[in-house]
Structures are given as structure tokens and as C-alpha cells.
Amino acid sequence: MPEKPTRITRLALVLDELLTLAEAHERAEVARYRRLAFSFLPYDTAVSRLMASLGIQCEMRVEELQRVSRQLNLSESSSPQAQLNANPGPPFFVNSPVMAFDVLTQAVTDAGYSLHFHEHLRDASTVPALYPALTAVIKQKRAEYAVLEGFLASRSGLTQMEQRA
């Protein structure tokens, strides 16, 4: 049976699609970090503050993407408040070291996904004018991932010591 040659094609997104995807993704990240900040509030305020500050960074990226969109004379995206209030799932509170470790591990995984998402968006961009903005977002996402990974590593050591005691 003859095999069909596999072709790898590059996905090329038009400018407004790319910016809409990037902005929608960052809005979802804002909601996720807000939910995490709220979830950790009664258990560990340091983690809650970290998640809140990461959410603020996402808000700043949303504003930057909107600025780029205006600069390129593209139409405004849908209502920001409606998307921010679309909170997936019921709120929960972290109440144990094991749960905290699991939630932080998932946060690191999600940050890695977000980083790769933006890298793929930059690769799909055919507009050279967007490259600096998307590269800046990727640089920030790498820092976000590294912070969460380091925080998880420092907390996993504490969790192991608590379990031994």
C-alpha cells in the first residue's frame, strides 16, 4: 500500500485572529490567577499574593495587546468584563499541604502550556511588526514559569519536612 507523504504546513494566522487569540488567552490567565489567589487566601497568603501579582502581569499584557491592536488600527475585541467574569468551575479553598502542592504543580503545568501557546502564536505570525510584542510576552511567560517552578521547588522541600515531623 503506497504511503502518502506527510506534509508539515505552517499555520499562518491573520493579524486580527492572532491578536484576538493572544488577548483571549491572557484574559483566561487573568481569571485563572485570580481564582488561584482566592483559593490560597485562607491557607497561605504568600502564595495568594504571588498568584495575584501574576494575574496583574497578565492584565498588563492584555493592555499591551490592546495597545498594539489600536496601533495597527484593528477593531476592539469583545467586552473585557464579560470574559473576565467567565470563571470556569466553582471556587475552592486550599486546605492542606498535599492539596497546595497539587494545585501549585498544576499552576506550573498551566504556565508551561501558556508559554508554549504564545511561542506557537509567534511562530504562526506572518506580520513582522508583531514579533517584538510577542517576543516580549514570551520573555515574560518564561519568567512566570521560572518563578512558579522555583516557588514549587521551595515549597516541596517544606512539605517534605512537614510530613517528616
Q: Residue 68 — very low, low, confident or very high, per pLDDT cuts 50/70/90?
A: very high
Query: In terms of pLDDT, which residue wins out, 60 or 11?
Result: 60
In a domain, 99, yes or no: yes
In a domain, 3, yes or no: no
Residue 39 has pLDDT above 90, yes or no: yes
In a domain, 9, yes or no: no
CATH number, domain of 96, equals: 1.20.1260.10
Instruction: Tell me how far apart the alpha carbons of residues 101 and 84 are, in angstroms, rounded to a whole number.
Output: 26
Domain interval for residue 80: 15-164
Q: Residue 6 — very low, low, confident or very high, per pLDDT cuts 50/70/90?
A: low
In a domain, 58, yes or no: yes
In a domain, 117, yes or no: yes
In a domain, 8, yes or no: no
Residue 84 has pLDDT above 80, yes or no: no
In a domain, 102, yes or no: yes
Instruction: Specify the range with the lowest mean pLDDT, choosing from 12-21, 71-80, 151-160.
Output: 71-80
Q: What is the pTM of this model?
A: 0.81
**For the chain, what is the domain count?**
1
In a domain, 76, yes or no: yes
Residue 136 has pLDDT above 60, yes or no: yes
